Amino acid sequence: MASYNKFNNNIQRDSVFVPIMNCGTSIFAGFVVFSVLGFMSHQTGIPVKDVATAGPSLAFVTYPEAIAMMPLAPLWAVLFFFMLYTLGLDSEAGEQFVQVETIIAAVLDEYPRYRKYKLLITAGSCCLLFLLSLSCVTKGGMYVLQLFDWYCANVTVPIVCFCEICIVAWIYGVGKFVRDVEFMIGKVINFYWRIAWLAFTPIALVIILGAILWSSRQVVYENYVYPDWAVAVGWMIAFSSVLFIPIYAAHILWNGKGSFSQRLKRSAIATEDYGPGDSSDFAAWKEHCASTKYYWLRSPIAFRRWLKESKPKDPEEN
């Protein structure tokens, strides 16, 4: 989805601002939720650990019960359910748009000849996702939703992120990536980001994934314990998206030309037409690549000198 940003969008600022806002919002939401649960615990004399519930029942069962005990309960109830309504609209317009657009962008990037059928591909993707989601609105939909949430959200995200960071930092090259980002934003990338992309982030993702797998327990929803076949289905769902990474890599290697080592080397380097989509940006980027060294420990002084020399001169100075 970053392709919708301007080419010179300051992604360094976004990469700091967005996580801080996300964590801050989560902390603030925790204060709001547990203040209400604490009020309910005080009113009923039940410990907070027994009052708090996970999942959708917190929003649709526990929280309304707590609001009913508060002064001006109808007012708080209206505000609370209006908030849930706006949250649903935001999730529908935000998350669903991102998911559908990700599918469409991947298909059209891989098969550019189908760009003229974008409307049909969009309609087909929406219909397919609609049919797949019908299982979540049946009588046992909460059990299906819990199974999806248990495996898909926890396991696949660290694996996909680990693959992405390794491809960018270790295969494409952190030096080239820094060179590209510096060209886009016109600023020097701090040394910290190089270390984070090369070491800190991959190690942290491996630790997170290991902790998830180590602490994984039997899937339960309320008092229902999922059978073994449901657990197997959950793991299949979790790895269904991850498996496409090695499958597609094997597809590229299998259909390539030359020896295996040649195909492997060719698939690990950028193509000739790789670069900015705009022709003027592409030409400037090619010139930047030719005149800039991209050692991963390159001194920022060299980049500042390049910026100073590449600035267009004022006509009055001539």
Helix (H, G, I), strand (E, B) or coil at 220: strand
Q: How far is CA 231 from CA 61, 116, 136, 215, 237, in A?
A: 27, 41, 17, 15, 10
Q: Does 243 belong to an annotated binding site?
A: no
Residues 6+ apart with CB under 8 A from 222: 57
Tokens of 28: 């603030």
Are the C-beta atoms of residues 51 and 41 closer than 8 Å to each other?
yes
Are the C-beta atoms of residues 288 and 179 closer than 8 Å to each other?
yes
**What gap in Å lies between CA 201 and CA 162, rounded to an integer?**
8
Q: How far is CA 75 from CA 43, 64, 105, 313, in A?
A: 19, 12, 44, 64
**What gap in Å lies between CA 62 and CA 52, rounded to an integer?**
7
Q: Does 87 belong to an annotated binding site?
A: yes
Q: Does 90 belong to an annotated binding site?
A: yes
Strand partners, 221: 224
Q: Does 10 belong to an annotated binding site?
A: no
Dihedral angle at the C-alpha atoms of 304, 305, 309, 310, nearest 10 degrees? -40
* Known binding positions for Na(+): 22, 87, 90-91
* Known binding positions: 22, 87, 90-91
